[in-house]
Amino acid sequence: MTDKKLQVIPIGGLGEFGMNMTAIRFGDDIIIVDCGMMFPEAELLGVDLVMPDLTFLKENQEFVRGVILTHGHEDHIGAVPYFLSEINVPVYGTDFTLALVDRRLEEYDLEEEPRFVHVKPRQVVEIGPFKIEFIHVTHSIVNAVALAITTPLGVIIHTGDFKVDPTPTDNELFDLHTLADYGKRGVLLLMSDSTNSDRPGYTESERAVRPRMEEIFSRAERRIVVSCFSSSIHRIQLVLDLSEEFNRRVAVIGRSMVSVTEIAHSLGLLEIPDGILLRPQDAMDLPPDKVTVLISGTQGEPMSALARVAVDNHKHISVEKGDTVALSSRIIPGNERAIFRMIDHMAKRGADVMYGSMNPPLHVSGHASVEEMKLVLNLVRPRYFMPIHGEFRQLSKHARLAEHLRFAGLEDSFIMESGEILEIDHHGARKAGRVTVGRVCIDSGSVDDVVQEMVIRDRRHLSEDGIVLPIIAINRKTGRMENPPEIVSRGFAVAEAGTDFMEGARLVVTKTLESSNDEEKTDWGVMKEKIRADLKRHIVKQTSRRPLIMPVIFEV
């Protein structure tokens, strides 16, 4: 590769929600923007987390100079522990973002201490041939930034996640001036968030939630339970402020809610009124009209604090008749059943549960809608445009929004897929091949517990057809069966003890053993394979199903 080429390589996050990660390469230097994970779909049985495949970066790790994080949401920082266990480079981010990364790293045992570089908006850092300026943006999490990456061939603007909030609750406005300055000087490539490209108009300001919350606090006669994403510091601040105003104490419940609240408070990003906090174990002792509960678990995760409260299985908190429960978050697609089941449990207890879209809203998005996307396009006026963050339909719609800039210097838009290489040189920009990308499935949160595709296939197999275990006890001296074979099954409905089917299966195993010669009987590997093959044939013929068959032979 010559020094004249600039490559932009999405490792994840295009054509999918989550795993946001992009490699930017010039010559022998690579920087990584964001390092996210995603939560598994239902068919990835038993998988806890999904990380991007780092094959390309591991093959080129001597060129990787650092990871730059735009903000602290899991789909942008969740894979950092996994990444650092493979490639140890400095990680750049704002204070809150790095504090959230540090909290995640506590769960992992990395060989080397991570190297964090704390940055602030308007700060410029140099990494190899790249000069990176951090630009403050408004989003649903504090301390979010866009990046202006100056390369030898021109400037790349990476927006990260954003919305253009004209009235943010912390009064920290989106730094549109800096973005416009870069636009005036000329921008080579814009990479911009596409999440809400199918939503017309403007995304409402975070302040739009206050009227609905005020109404809840003013009319609630008993306990108020508010659940929101633990990273929504603005929303948490609102709940604390209204609780003080309405003379309520606040119990903070749930591991993530407690830890993120502590981090935000220690960084001066969250103001906690004096004497307002209440120990969780004391929340049920106060008069119900004097208590607010701030709790995690908006998505109905089975072991989350709110899910346990819903089934009356939390050691400190119960929801009772007349309590008000407000789910101040969006319902993430795929989580509907778990969330509605949780709501049903609380409704059965007589709680008034508020959720979903309403006016005024109980929740607002953190992502730009169409008009804000157009604003950023018009300010930056890039030579090339690459929509990021979203499924193909969102990327495609965002690219269409940029069409009007054809008259203002836009030469081309690139709708990319993860793994495709966008190559830019003095001749122009083009797609130029692919690199290896994909998903790595992780069990139980350990960076070592990678789940192979074969394992997931086996789990799917087990979930559909069950398992059959023929158990045979053989006399070590005579080589004969001591007892008729036992057959144990799980998830295989026809295999009930005493049925004709079970008797037939036992006969098949007995016949296989009796028809084997003495040499075969001494080789248990051969015997297991013979039993598996004969029993499989019998089961398929009788039931047309293919359970997992695992013969167990032991000596007595």
pLDDT in tens, 217-227: 999 999 999 99
Q: Decide which of 299 and 293 is more confident.
A: 293
User: If pLDDT is split at 50, 70 and 90, which confidence band does 473 have?
Assistant: confident
Nearest Cα residue to 73 out of 38, 49, 110: 38
In the chain, % of residues over pLDDT 90: 67
State the average pLDDT over residues 334-359: 91
Burial of residue 515 (CB within 10 Å: 0-12, 13-18, 19+) is exposed
Q: Which residue has the tokens 């999405």?
A: 10
Per residue in 206-215, pLDDT tens?
Answer: 999 999 999 9
The verdict on residue 460 lying in a domain is no
What is the Cα–Cα distance from 59 to 80, expressed in whole angstroms? Answer: 18
* pLDDT at residue 439 in the model: 81
Q: 147 is in which domain, residue-wise?
A: 6-201+365-450
- Say if residue 361's pLDDT is above 80: yes
Residue at a domain's end among 422, 450, 478:
450
Both 182 and 132 in a single domain? yes
Report pTM: 0.81
Both 222 and 277 in a single domain? yes
Both 53 and 163 in a single domain? yes
User: If pLDDT is split at 50, 70 and 90, which confidence band does 460 have?
Assistant: low
* pLDDT at residue 272 in the model: 96
The verdict on residue 455 lying in a domain is no
State the average pLDDT over residues 158-165: 97
Q: Which residue has the tokens 């495609």?
A: 396
Burial of residue 157 (CB within 10 Å: 0-12, 13-18, 19+) is buried
State the average pLDDT over residues 144-173: 97
The verdict on residue 436 lying in a domain is yes
Both 300 and 164 in a single domain? no
What is the Cα–Cα distance from 324 to 320, expressed in whole angstroms? Answer: 9
Both 275 and 332 in a single domain? yes
Q: Which residue has the tokens 């398929």?
A: 540
Q: What is the CATH number of the domain that holds 251?
A: 3.40.50.10710
* pLDDT at residue 189 in the model: 98
Count the Cβ atoms, other than its own, within 10 Å of residue 464. 11
Q: Cα torsion at 388, 390, 394, 397 (round to 10°)?
A: 0
367 is a catalytic site residue: yes
Both 264 and 347 in a single domain? yes
* pLDDT at residue 536 in the model: 85
Determine which one of 165, 175, 193, 323 is catalytic: 193
Q: Decide which of 385 and 527 is more confident.
A: 385
* pLDDT at residue 461 in the model: 62
User: If pLDDT is split at 50, 70 and 90, which confidence band does 362 have?
Assistant: very high
What is the SS3 assignment for 11? strand
Burial of residue 384 (CB within 10 Å: 0-12, 13-18, 19+) is buried
What is the Cα–Cα distance from 352 to 111, expressed in whole angstroms? Answer: 49
What is the Cα–Cα distance from 524 to 13, expressed in whole angstroms? Answer: 49
Both 165 and 243 in a single domain? no
What is the SS3 assignment for 146? strand
Reduced to 3 DSSP states, what percent helix, strand and coil does the chain have, rounded to the nearest 5? Answer: 35, 25, 40
Q: Decide which of 242 and 357 is more confident.
A: 242
345 is a catalytic site residue: no
The verdict on residue 537 lying in a domain is yes
User: If pLDDT is split at 50, 70 and 90, which confidence band does 2 have?
Assistant: very low
Both 238 and 196 in a single domain? no
- Say if residue 330's pLDDT is above 50: yes
State the average pLDDT over residues 122-129: 97
Residue at a domain's end among 354, 386, 415:
354
- Say if residue 446's pLDDT is above 90: no
| Total count of domains within the chain | 3
Residue at a domain's end among 354, 382, 406:
354
Both 130 and 241 in a single domain? no
The verdict on residue 492 lying in a domain is yes
* pLDDT at residue 50 in the model: 81
- Say if residue 329's pLDDT is above 60: yes
Residue 79's contacts (CB-CB under 8 Å, 6 or more residues apart) are 19, 21, 35, 36, 37, 51, 52
H or E, element range at 305: helix 305-310
* pLDDT at residue 40 in the model: 67
- Specify which residues 428 forms β-bridges with: 425
Q: Which residue blocks in 138-282 are alpha helix, DSSP H?
A: 176-185, 209-219, 233-245, 255-266
Q: Decide which of 423 and 497 is more confident.
A: 423
The verdict on residue 424 lying in a domain is yes
Residue 402's contacts (CB-CB under 8 Å, 6 or more residues apart) are 377, 385, 410, 413
User: If pLDDT is split at 50, 70 and 90, which confidence band does 115 have?
Assistant: very high
Two tokens, residue 538: 């019998």
- Say if residue 448's pLDDT is above 60: no
- Say if residue 498's pLDDT is above 60: no
Q: Which residue blocks in 422-499 are alpha helix, DSSP H?
A: 453-465
Q: What is the CATH number of the domain that holds 500?
A: 3.10.20.580
Q: Decide which of 525 and 453 is more confident.
A: 525
In the chain, % of residues over pLDDT 70: 90
Residue 28's contacts (CB-CB under 8 Å, 6 or more residues apart) are 63
Question: For residue 390, how many C-alpha atoms fall within 13 Å in the half-sphere facing its CB?
Answer: 25
What is the Cα–Cα distance from 34 to 92, expressed in whole angstroms? Answer: 10
* pLDDT at residue 458 in the model: 64
User: If pLDDT is split at 50, 70 and 90, which confidence band does 497 have?
Assistant: very low
* pLDDT at residue 160 in the model: 97
| Summary mean pLDDT of the chain | 89
Lowest mean pLDDT among 164-173, 272-281, 511-520: 511-520
Count the Cβ atoms, other than its own, within 10 Å of residue 282. 12
* pLDDT at residue 445 in the model: 45
* pLDDT at residue 16 in the model: 84
User: If pLDDT is split at 50, 70 and 90, which confidence band does 379 have?
Assistant: very high
Both 51 and 168 in a single domain? yes
* pLDDT at residue 306 in the model: 94
Both 195 and 212 in a single domain? no
Q: What is the CATH number of the domain that holds 10?
A: 3.60.15.10
User: If pLDDT is split at 50, 70 and 90, which confidence band does 506 have?
Assistant: confident
Q: Which residue blocks in 72-175 are alpha helix, DSSP H?
A: 74-77, 80-86, 95-105
Both 441 and 303 in a single domain? no
- Cis, bond preceding 360 (omega within 30 deg of 0): yes
H or E, element range at 528: helix 524-543
Determine which one of 367, 389, 398, 538 is catalytic: 367
User: If pLDDT is split at 50, 70 and 90, which confidence band does 502 have?
Assistant: confident
The verdict on residue 50 lying in a domain is yes
- Per-position b or e across 196-205, b if 16+ CB within 10 A of its CB: bbebeebbbb
* pLDDT at residue 515 in the model: 84
